[in-house]
Copies of this chain bind each other. A is one copy, B any other.
Amino acid sequence: MQHQSQPLTGNASAADQMVLRRHNLGLVLRHIRDLGPHSRAKIATSTGLNKATVSSLVSELSERGLVRDGSLERGNVGRPGHTIELDGATVCGIGAEVNVNHVEVLALDLRGTVVAEKRSSLDTARLDPDEVLDRLAQLIHEATDEVLARDARTVGLTLGVAGLVDRGAGVLAVGPNLGWHDVPVADLVHQRLDRPAYPLLVDNEANLAAMAEAAALPEGDRADVLVLVGEAGVGGGIISGGRLLRGAQGFAGEIGHMRVDPQGRRCGCGRTGCWETVAGLRALLSAAADPDDPIQDPALGLEDRLAELNRRAELGDARTLAALHQVGGWVGRGAATLVNVLNPRVLVLGGYFAVVGGWMLDGIRDELAAGSIAPRAGDCRVELSTLGFTAAVRGGAQVALDSVFTDPTQVPRRSADRSADLMEGATR
């Protein structure tokens, strides 16, 4: 999202030429990612590179398996040509997530196709980090095996965790809902994967979810997006002016602990009246059902419990509908504060909100309009996520793939790849 988007041109030494070539390969590849399939001529026009250069760059990207010919495009003048579209089936990024309710791993190829998806329901807050990360590493192994079985390579892994992440050190500093403090997650996962060659990053899961959600929006709506992720807690990812808002230490977006109800409940973090005490999953479930109701049983999968909640709402169950209405109101009141502060174009409701949020939307929109100082909540659109619980792992996989869009030359040419394979075989 922060890539330089101008072509580099001019006289240069041989070393500079390589940098230039790499930069322009990335420019063309990102262009096709962001704007969809285009003809060589259109790529030349909109990147400012000349046609011969674009043709040469596209050839190289094709040799590296990153783009391919798409449909025939018949222009107004000249011969019809093929559009160029993303390929990249041989290149995968992996997103992983440690959540209060589950651990999950997802592999995406360069086109965004899901190559592997693994999930285990886990009551992670009751286990110690070693046990949780053992289970996560096992899922990662399964996913990378599937990537390998497709003759594809893993170019990176990004792990999302809920809480304050020191990205430089790969440490979860504070994870209130997991109950983790100063856990060196990057090192612990790295060990369990036998120190893989690809880079491993750790980030806040709501930040990763926000990047995936923004990427899924129409291009004109991606610059100012607020993503609310409803889970045990309420996570926030903020995209403003086209960039993820991280803050001075990378701790921005901790919206779950805004104090919205000073007379309210005690939060897991020790404070009183935090937003997640009235808008988080526990608030909804405990308002909707008694403690011995199966929808409150963490041993059952969360998706099944939420499906049951939807079923009851559809049947018109008064307690369920009242709970959804009450929590929706709180979601809207907290969101109004954030909309006043951030003035987003789109508010995306992810996590459990995406599953049962249909019953909350009217209430959220009403509270948002009532609580926003800007007319019509600054024309902020409120939408349910279409990615749901997979947003964070998708975002993680996309971040892992970003390095290829920055430097496509890290993926070898197919011919070179083949002879490199032969070489490797000969020395085994």
Task: Give me the interface of A with B, judged by CB distance under 8 Å.
Answer: 9-11, 164, 173-174, 176, 223-224, 236, 238, 240-241, 243, 245-263, 269, 271, 333, 336-338, 340-345, 370-371, 373-375, 378-380
Contacts and interface: CB of A to CB of B under 8 A. Distances in A.
A247 B342 contact: yes
Main secondary structure of the interface of A (DSSP, over half): loop
A12 to B, nearest CB: 9
Given A241-B246, A260-B259, A375 B344 contact: no
B10 A342 contact: no
A256 to B, nearest CB: 8
B251 A378 contact: yes
Contacts of A371: 257, 259, 271
B341 A341 contact: yes
Contacts of A224: 247-248
Contacts of A238: 341
- How many copies of this chain are found per oligomer? 2
Nearest to A8: B10
A339 to B, nearest CB: 9
A241 B243 CA distance: 9
A337 B248 contact: no
A185 to B, nearest CB: 18
B343 A251 contact: yes
A269 B251 CA distance: 32
Nearest to A181: B375
Top 9 nearest A-B pairs by Cβ distance?
A: A247-B343, A10-B10, A248-B345, A224-B248, A252-B343, A254-B340, A251-B343, A258-B337, A257-B373
A325 B44 CA distance: 63
Contacts of A247: 224, 240, 342-344, 378
16 contacts: A173-B374, A174-B373, A223-B248, A240-B245, A241-B245, A247-B343, A248-B343, A248-B344, A248-B345, A249-B343, A249-B379, A252-B343, A256-B373, A257-B340, A259-B337, A337-B337
